[in-house]
């Protein structure tokens, strides 16, 4: 008898497959909304909460054409202050307005004693922090009444006092909270170079069955570090990580993050095409394999 599925894993089964998406950014909004290469959109909710005018009109247009999910930056899930109920009320109202199938934020903290730092800051990788974040993630997911995903961030130094590897910490949080993963494969790659670990060992330590959404992006170089800028084309080792992950999870959506240094929109569409080919060929191979496996099982149990 198999292990009992958690409530989150049951709800993941009910989620729609969205396909290939792009972040809705003001600078490329008109091309984004005209393009036929995009299946769904992600928005930064803080740009649309309690806001009218151009932003709200852009959102109304986007909502008429696409499924939209939110990817927040100010939830501050790891912060020691109480959860901000006003923020959660506004977020929930927005999620209801766009009818989002799920929503996400980052595994980090962004505020301290109500001061927002406008940075995604890494947490100490301790059991105490994991329990704290998991409890808050559970409450956020329940309040917003739809699946909640946490994303692995890029960061540039090991946090003092850490007791475990980041992947173990991430796994501990999402399993304890019974929530999902937004896996950013570019962040895994950037951190693996900057912090000197094997990205494939990192991935092996994650409960990849909880991945609902994947981010893929480009980054920049300094003399000493890779910087997660979302402002350059995706490089081959990141595509290889994406392929590796696609083969091991049933993600409902894959998204290109491009937030600055915008090229001609056709270059963005070309990257979307490459991602689409990878996703569709990997998923059709998996479907064929599953059909083949179930035929073998049926043959084995068929009465003689």
Beta-carbon contacts of 30 under 8 Å, excluding residues fewer than 6 positions away, are none
Question: How is residue 190 written in tokens?
Answer: 């950037």
Secondary structure element (H or E) that encloses residue 183, with its range: strand 180-184
The span of 7-15, 166-174, 181-189, 271-279 binding Fe ion (CB under 5 A) equals 181-189
Q: Kindly report the CA angle at 95 between 107 and 182, in degrees rounded to 5? A: 30
Smallest separation, CB 35 to Fe ion (Å): 20
Closer to Fe ion by CB, 131 or 278: give it. Answer: 278
Q: Which stretch binds Fe ion (CB under 5 A): 19-27, 95-103, 178-186, 232-240?
A: 178-186
104 versus 141: smaller Cβ distance to Fe ion? 104
Residue 96 gets which letter from DSSP?
H
Least CB distance to Fe ion at residue 234 (A): 12
Give the x-and-dash track for 133-172 against Fe ion (CB under 5 A). Answer: ----------------------------------------
Q: Which is nearest to 31 in space by CA: 268, 273, 289, 298? A: 268
Query: Least separation, in Å, of the C-beta of 124 and Fe ion?
Result: 22
In degrees rounded to 5, what are phi and psi of residue 3?
A: -70, 145
Stretch that binds Fe ion, among 47-55, 97-105, 121-129, 182-190 (CB under 5 A): 182-190
Residue 184 touching Fe ion (CB under 5 A): yes
Give the whole-angstrom CA distance, residue 190 versus residue 141.
29
Minimal distance, residue 119 CB to Fe ion, in Å: 15
Nearer to Fe ion (CB atom), residue 39 or residue 184:
184
Shortest distance in whole angstroms from residue 299 CB to Fe ion: 44
Contacts with 257 (C-beta within 8 Å, 6 or more apart), sequence order: 23, 184, 186, 215, 216, 217, 230
How many residues bind Fe ion (CB under 5 A)? The answer is 2
Tell me the window of 41-49, 91-99, 180-188, 237-245 that interacts with Fe ion (CB under 5 A): 180-188
Tell me the closest approach of the beta carbon of residue 268 to Fe ion, in angstroms: 16
CA-to-CA distance for 53 and 57, rounded, in angstroms?
A: 6
| Residue 80 or 107 having the CB closest to Fe ion | 107
Q: Least distance to Fe ion from the beta carbon of 191, Å?
A: 12
Angle at 266 between CA 262 and CA 263, to 5 degrees: 15
Decide if residue 228 touches Fe ion (CB under 5 A).
no
Q: Which is nearer to Fe ion, 215 or 219 (CB)?
A: 215
Q: What angle do CA 149, 151, 156 make, to 5 degrees?
A: 165
Does 58 engage in binding with Fe ion (CB under 5 A)?
no
User: What is the smallest separation between the CB atom of 104 and Fe ion, expressed in angstroms?
Assistant: 9
Map residues 187-226 to x or -, x wherever contact with Fe ion holds by CB under 5 A.
----------------------------x-----------
**Angle at 22 (CA atoms; ends 232, 149), nearest 5 degrees:** 105
33, 55, 71, 256, 267 from 24: Cα distances, Å: 9, 11, 11, 11, 16
Nearest one of 25, 71, 278 to 183, comparing CA atoms: 71
* Contacts to Fe ion by CB under 5 A: 184, 215
């Amino acid at each position: 008898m198999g292990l009992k599925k958690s409530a989150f894993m049951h709800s993941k089964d009910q989620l729609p497959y969205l396909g290939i998406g792009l972040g809705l950014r003001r600078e490329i909004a008109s091309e984004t909304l005209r393009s036929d290469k995009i299946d769904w959109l992600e928005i930064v909710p803080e740009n649309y909460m309690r806001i009218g005018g151009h932003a709200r009109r852009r959102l109304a247009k986007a909502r008429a054409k696409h499924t939209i999910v939110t990817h927040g930056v100010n939830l501050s899930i790891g912060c020691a202050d109480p959860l901000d109920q006003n923020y959660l009320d506004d977020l929930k109202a927005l999620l209801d307005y766009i009818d989002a199938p799920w929503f996400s934020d980052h595994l980090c903290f962004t505020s301290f004693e109500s001061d927002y730092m406008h940075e995604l800051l890494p947490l100490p990788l301790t059991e105490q922090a994991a329990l704290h974040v998991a409890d808050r993630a559970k409450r956020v997911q329940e309040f917003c009444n739809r699946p909640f995903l946490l994303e692995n961030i890029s960061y540039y130094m090991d946090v003092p006092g850490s007791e475990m590897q980041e992947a173990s910490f991430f796994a501990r949080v999402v399993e304890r909270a019974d929530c999902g993963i937004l896996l950013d494969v570019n962040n895994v790659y950037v951190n693996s170079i900057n912090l000197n670990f094997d990205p494939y060992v990192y991935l092996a330590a994650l409960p990849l069955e909880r991945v609902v959404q994947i981010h893929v992006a480009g980054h920049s170089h300094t003399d000493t570090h890779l910087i997660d800028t979302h402002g350059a084309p995706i490089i081959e080792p990141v595509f290889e990580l994406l392929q590796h992950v696609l083969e091991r999870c049933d993600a409902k959506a894959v998204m290109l993050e491009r937030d600055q240094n915008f090229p001609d929109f056709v270059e963005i569409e070309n990257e979307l095409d490459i991602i689409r080919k990878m996703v569709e060929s990997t998923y059709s191979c998996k479907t064929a394999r599953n059909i083949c496996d179930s035929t073998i099982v049926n043959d084995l149990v068929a009465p003689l």
